[in-house]
Amino acid sequence: MDQSYRVMLVEDDPEQRANILEALESKDLLIEAFGLRPQAQSRLDQQLPDLLISDIILGDEMDGGFDLARHLQTYQRPIPIIFLSERQSEFDIVAGHDLGAIDYLPKPISLAVLKRKVTNLLRLTQNAPTLNNKTTFIENLMLDPQTFKASWHQKPLNLTVTEFEMLEQFATHSIGSVISYQDLQAATQGVVERNTINTHICRLRQAFKKITPDFDLIHNVYGRGYSWQSPKK
């Protein structure tokens, strides 16, 4: 990065907050850290960050991070959000994305992965060109790396950033190409473990099936990875 970005970190555990601050320390990042929602929300009223990183449970507020995201929405300016949480139910993950999250990382978090995510995210959201049907090999799929949004048959796909990164691998390779397990892991900066790739692929398939219920284009290539196949005639 060739400029400074303002990051707000909201984490109620002092030790975890200190560890994240140390991991993200960089001349390119201006980080303000808070332990509870009210203090963070007051700061938002003064100045908006380029990125919000927040736990969901903040002190006695079980949905403190979600409430902070709702407050952020009132400014009607797109601010990317990364939620960090032990809560990993589909309900919580979907709720987080409905509130504007572009990633939802499980605790205990990998500090190295978080740092890479933050660096790449800020670079991409500031500088990335739009990827559309002219540069994707998949018909009826549109991707926008600038916002990490995707649409299928002109309807939005509900994806995490991790799932978007995996989908982008299929979209930028020719139909039928095998995307290896290693490629999928590398695309997510190591967030995805080898033994959880299938879970993420299942979530990808489900996202497509919500739009086209008969979707069956992502195929497992035993022992190698996955491939995107042409629809059957």
| Residue ending a domain, choose from 63, 97, 127 | 127
| CB neighbour class for 83 (10 Å; exposed up to 12, middle 13-18, buried from 19) | buried
If one counts the domains in the chain, the total is 2
What pLDDT digit, counting tens, does each position of 137-177 carry?
788 998 887 777 889 998 999 888 888 889 999 988 888 99
If you average pLDDT over every residue of the chain, what do you get? 86
The answer to the question of residue 69 being in a domain is yes
Percentage helix, strand, coil for the chain under 3-state DSSP, each rounded to 5:
40, 25, 40
Domain region containing 70:
5-127
Do 159 and 222 lie in one domain? The reply is yes
The answer to the question of residue 11 being in a domain is yes
- What is the average pLDDT across 42-46? 89
The answer to the question of residue 133 being in a domain is no
Do 109 and 156 lie in one domain? The reply is no
pTM reported for the whole predicted model = 0.59
Rounded Cα–Cα distance for residues 185 and 197 (Å):
8
The answer to the question of residue 9 being in a domain is yes
CATH, residue 112: 3.40.50.2300
